[in-house]
Structure formats: C-alpha cells, structure tokens
Amino acid sequence: GAEVVINGSSSPAVVDRSNESIKHNIQPASSKWRHNQTLSLRIRKQILKFLDAEKDISVLKGTLKPGDIIHYIFDRDSTMNVSQNLYELLPRTSPLKNKHFGTCAIVGNSGVLLNSGCGQEIDAHSFVIRCNLAPVQEYARDVGLKTDLVTMNPSVIQRAFEDLVNATWREKLLQRLHSLNGSILWIPAFMARGGKERVEWVNELILKHHVNVRTAYPSLRLLHAVRGYWLTNKVHIKRPTTGLLMYTLATRFCNQIYLYGFWPFPLDQNQNPVKYHYYDSLKYGYTSQASPHTMPLEFKALKSLHEQGALKLTVGQCD
Ligand code: CTP
C-alpha cells in the first residue's frame, strides 16, 4: 500500500513567534471532518508490524514469576525484582483480548479541556482512555466521567498524592482507585527506576483493600516498538508521551479514535492562555529541554493524521 504521510511538510512554515499557536490551527473544523476508514486500517496494519496492543498492553502472569529480575527500560543498569504483590496483580489474559470498539476517546490532560463542555461527548464513546489518574469528578462537564482504562506513571504518586506521606493522602489515593470501579489501571512499572517504591505502594494498597481494578503493566518492548513505528514514519520522538502510547495502542482495537485534551501549547487557537494540565498548576517549563518528551512534535504528527481523517482532534469546545 501507499505510504502514510505522517510528517509531511504540507503546511507552509509560517513561523511567527509572537503567535506561536496560530500555526497549529486545526483544520478541517469539527463539522467538516470525515473518518478515513481505509487509512485507519492501513495504520493499524503498519503498527502491527511493530507491536500488538493485545499482547503489549501488559505482561502476563505466565511469563514472570516472583523473584525474576527486570532491567528498567530507561535505566538498563538498574534492576528490580518481581515482588509477590506485583506477580499477584499481573493479569492472566490480556485485558484487551478480542476487544473491538466502534469509537474510542483518548483524553489527554491539557488545560484546553477547561470550559470545553466535552464531557458528554467523551462519555458517549464506547471506550474511554484517560491518563495519569487525572481527576474527573470536579471536571465532569468538560472531561466526562466514563473511564475504561486509566494510566498511572509512578511519578503521579509523588506529584498528585504527596508520596502518601500520611493517612490522608493514602486515603485520597485509595478513594481514587476505588472510583475506577473495575476499569483497567495501566502502570508503566518497568520504565524508570525512580518509580520502584511508588509502584509497590500502589500494588499493596490495591491488594490490601481489594480494590476493584484490572491492573496491567506494559510489556518490556512496548516503548521501543512504539518509538520504532513513529521513527519509521519520520517522527523522531525521544520518549513517547503517555498520550501517544495510548493512541498507538488504540489503533489495534478502536475503529474510530477521538482525541481530547491534546494541546501542548500555552495559548489556545484564539490566543487565550491554556493551562498545562486542566487540574493542577504545573507549568509549561516542565516540558522544556529537561523533559524527555517532544510533545509539540507529537502534536504535529497527530494534527497531520487528523487532517487525513485517521483520527479526530478536538482542541476547542464541543457542540
Ligand atoms: N498532553 C498534551 N498537552 C498538554 C498536556 C498533556 O497534549 N498540555 C497529552 C500528552 O500526550 C500526555 C497526555 O496528554 O502524554 C497526558 O498528560 P500528562 O499526564 O501530562 O502525561 P505525560 O507528560 O506523558 O506524563 P509524565 O509527565 O508523567 O511523563
């Protein structure tokens, strides 16, 4: 089949630094956007050459045993032992086994969601993916409530739950976990050594309080496979963000993919300020040189896919 042009230079490089985000204007507008089924299928096929979301979404019980040694993906010299708790929480079969959905929503955490009124639209999708345990209750009008899968980088425990320093924070996390109510909790436990204790705390909490979540821990090859796919399409990502990982996985089991809350820029399309996250006070500097992410580059690729009808980006208000 023909090549999928993800990083085409179709848009003229009009760079006006005073208006950074104007060049990110999303076209076609919501009403004119059409899903491109042929292209979506072609992308699914291409991605399947690099990874299989059904398998790579989680390591399974059969493949590890307590005491096994794992080298962290980003810190090859550091290792961890598979604990009894982790082993217990590994799924026996893929939580995505034979799953297929008509439409899926992937909800990023950009402040562009605030005042979007997208909650109802998001909740209407068959499968809703969220990132990093982002709060929903207080923002339901804009982000919805439905959660079928939510990710949790270990750093979230530090950033949003004060490293569980006291009973109050432990209770807060516990409440959030209980509210997941049977959905998939996706914990990248083998990425970086920094998260070792945090993953263990969460595992312990889930087991001790019989929290009703289906835990999943991405395969050791997922990161490199995702990077490989995008590199092949000339998108040079150092370390894919959670959002891009979720899109790449979703192509396997979602017919149509809708993205909300993907907007890594400090101004919106009307030049109004946008918060980095819809729910906290983290600043944009956070994604600067220090961060391994290259969100604007990812965004450019997603925007191109939107223009071709492979996915739909919503970066303003929902109707
Ligand atoms: N995102 C975005 N624009 C923002 C913030 C987030 O497009 N201003 C998207 C990114 O794809 C991101 C996802 O939403 O991966 C979830 O946001 P966040 O929790 O900040 O994810 P990460 O940056 O990947 O997580 P971390 O900071 O822990 O690496």
Within 145-221, residue ranges assigned H as helices are 155-161, 167-180, 196-208
- By most ligand atoms within 8 Å of CB, the mutation choice from 110, 157, 235, 259 for ligand 1 is 110
For residue 281, the one-letter residue type is: S
CA neighbor of 106 nearest in space, from 139, 146, 138: 146
Q: What is the ipTM of this complex?
A: 0.97
Strands in 152-273 per DSSP E: 184-186, 214-216, 254-260
**pLDDT tens-place string over residues 175-207:** 999 999 999 999 999 999 989 999 999 999 999
CA neighbor of 258 nearest in space, from 239, 243, 269: 243
How far is residue 20's CA from residue 225's CA, in Å, rounded to a whole number?
A: 32
Q: Virtual CA dihedral for 131, 157, 83, 51, nearest 10 degrees?
A: 20
CA 72 distance to own-chain centroid? 20
Going by CA atoms, what residue is nearest to atom 3 of ligand 1? 264
Spatial contact of 245 and 251, defined as CB atoms under 8 Å apart = no
> Which neighbouring-strand residues pair with 71?
79
Distance from the CA of 252 to the center of ligand 1, in angstroms? 21
- By most ligand atoms within 8 Å of CB, the mutation choice from 109, 279, 300, 315 for ligand 1 is 109
Catalytic residue IDs: 293
* pLDDT value of position 221: 96
Distance from the CA of 260 to the center of ligand 1, in angstroms? 12
With 60 as the cut, is the pLDDT of residue 17 above it? Answer: no
Going by CA atoms, what residue is nearest to atom 19 of ligand 1? 132
How far is residue 275's CA from residue 153's CA, in Å, rounded to a whole number?
A: 20
The stretch 102-110 carries a mean pLDDT of: 98
Going by CA atoms, what residue is nearest to atom 20 of ligand 1? 109
Going by CA atoms, what residue is nearest to atom 28 of ligand 1? 153
The stretch 166-175 carries a mean pLDDT of: 98
Distance from the CA of 203 to the center of ligand 1, in angstroms? 23
Which DSSP symbol is given to 158?
H
**pLDDT tens-place string over residues 249-296:** 999 999 999 999 999 999 999 999 999 999 999 987 655 555 667 899
How far is residue 231's CA from residue 237's CA, in Å, rounded to a whole number?
A: 7
How far is residue 292's CA from residue 196's CA, in Å, rounded to a whole number?
A: 19
Spatial contact of 247 and 53, defined as CB atoms under 8 Å apart = no
Distance from the CA of 108 to the center of ligand 1, in angstroms? 6
Please tell me whether residue 70 adopts helix, strand or coil conformation.
strand
**pLDDT tens-place string over residues 205-243:** 999 999 999 999 999 999 999 999 999 999 999 899 999
